Structure 1
Amino acid sequence: MTSEIVICPHCGSANRVARERLGDGPQCGKCHKGLFTGHPLAVNAAAFAAHVHRGTLPVLVDFWAPWCGPCRSMAPAYEQAAAALEPFIRVVKVDTEAEQGLGSTYGIRSIPTLMLIQGGREIKRQAGAMDARRIIEWAHA
């Protein structure tokens, strides 16, 4: 039985969850809240590092900014995609205005930019707004 390390979106604790049980609504062993929300998690640099480096689930990241029109127009689609991709992909969003260091570290030149990270390494990236179906297909491809 394989297991995943899932970072709690509420308290940041690492939780070991059997892969076969990810869809069963697992709860955090520390704070007892759900490990999955069905919504993208707005993360700061510390939470981003926890999900990317301590967690073992692939992480889909939307690098965005509040002033960006295409980012705002893609937000509902990203929300829909999160509901479809969890619990097998952690879906997060990084405000590049608030977390400029992350944007710089990952060489984000345009927004929105989606990035899929697994095992702490970038697997792929795509710049530009997409609809929910394309986001889901891109994340699974």
Structure 2
Amino acid sequence: MTEPPLSLVCSDCLAVNRVPNDRIDDRPICGKCQTPLLPATPIELTDRTFGKLVSRSDVPVLVDFWASWCGPCRMMAPSFAEAAAELSPGFLLAKLDTDAATQTAAQFSLSGIPTIILFRRGSEIARQTGALNTPQILQFARSNA
């Protein structure tokens, strides 16, 4: 019996795309706007895009909650980008600026930033507060997926 196709939400147009499981490694693109669905770099989320992208994506979504004024957030950014390159296409890594997306950030009662939260089909699976290096991000994602 074949597995049902995965639902992947386009970060640009928010179209829900169905991708066969055996094609996930082929770097699928959105059927509507041609944007890569599982990029090897973190995508930017907003109040408008967060809910649909996180709740409708069948791959785990790891979100970095950060702010531009936060020194540890800026220090962790290159590690998060490296982790995105290594974890794609099995994970989608995203960043949410807590100053720009205040409505979404408020929903998660963050005790500090940076905080990474792993979601599966919209449900929070795990979270970690504090700056992490690339191996720590990889281990967090893989051990909680």
| Correspondence 1:1-141 to 2 at 5 A | 1-2=2-3, 3-141=5-143
Give the distance between the partners of 2:81 and 2:108, measured in 1 at CA: 23
Identity of aligned residues (%): 40
Give the Å deviation of 1:17.
0.6
Give the distance between the partners of 1:85 and 1:76, measured in 2 at CA: 14
- Structure-2-length-normalised TM-score: 0.92
Amino acid at match of 1:129: A
Instruction: Write out the 4+ residue segments of structure 1 that deviate beyond 2 Å after TM superposition.
Output: none
Count of residues in Structure 1 that have an aligned counterpart in Structure 2: 141
- Structure-1-length-normalised TM-score: 0.95
Amino acid at match of 1:58: P
Q: Give the alignment's Cα RMSD to 1 decimal.
A: 1.1
- In structure 2, the gaps of 5 or more residues are none
Quick check: 100-109 or 28-37, which moved more? 28-37
Is the partner of 1:73 in helix, strand or coil?
A: helix
